[in-house]
Structure 1
């Protein structure tokens, strides 16, 4: 049975590089490309199938900045699949990208929890109990240059910065630079037993000054009690959002009275 892998933001950047690398690892996968731009995703789908004809690749439309779109995609995925083996939460929201050098270097060396691509996996085969184990990991792709990144500064500035960044890789291996290098930790996690992973560890892609990729780890500054309270608040928020998007029949009439 094919393993089903869902990747958000799969039409470009790290998401697209991850699709290509996973199919090199296993060309019998069923990749589901969760993207905002369906036409662009269909083009990526055709390209992936051309290079890996034994794979299965499908597309689901989702805009991660729109809750209605997220719930609609979730319902569609439930109808399509009995299970998802791996979920790569790569897509993000960047309405006004700006270069913040202080935040950049802080993120490279800090253990503080920040928003990085997430990785989820399910450990139970189809047919088992409906209560299945869900494992989650935090992944840092390093400093990757994509279309979003290049749009922050004028092209001539990047021409000046790139040689400096390459030199910095000899001192800070978090400068992965390319989407391919940035997916190193994501591909590494694909091969791990989920129960062996530490949820308090951040798994990071790294690249040496000579261009060799590897995975490193760093314990996150995370208070477990605070994290549990935050999680419970998120569950409550989810309930409120669901009620807002899908009100109980008659509820509006009662409120109007």
Structure 2
């Protein structure tokens, strides 16, 4: 897999498509091997390609290659890209920290928001979903490094706040509670221990499903640690760099 990704227009779309196909094949091999190692079926894990900072032309190429789930983390980039790709058979996931003033825009294109972490956001998402006459799937982002009542540095509700937030989502018009999401912590108890962090999330998911049986999604793992996430029971992995290459710097 290449470590550098040049502009798709400069390299030409056929070459770019070949590169994406090769990278996707390598990611697929990793997911399949990780599943086999723990006795899971490959179809238990869904690949979400994180297309942030990359152009709509890449999203189109990914769709041609069979990708059906893509994710973005900044509405100002995602909204125009989603509009350009509205004809494609894609599910759009929003995975970044979401400010309430961006909610109406995000609800316009994202079928799922994976970064729900506070009650105010639940209320805003619900109002926007009802206004748009849409149902939006929600994952609670759990900050495994956050103390009681705190939010994680990269967003996320503390583990002891999950039940209250889950109840709020489940009871909110226009929203659907789909499960939990996390990012491997860089500090605290789970720093440098992604598999243990993901196993903790899986345990929390099992407990959540006693009250909310349909909340089956466990979104965990990115390019560097997707293998550990699959081993720990993740149902969805969010992979960007391993498919698209090293990201260009944002201006």
| TM-score under structure 2 length normalisation | 0.30
> Looking at both structures, which has the greater relative contact order when contacts are Cα pairs under 8 Å and sequence separation is at least 6?
2
Structure whose CA Rg is larger: 1
| TM-score under structure 1 length normalisation | 0.30
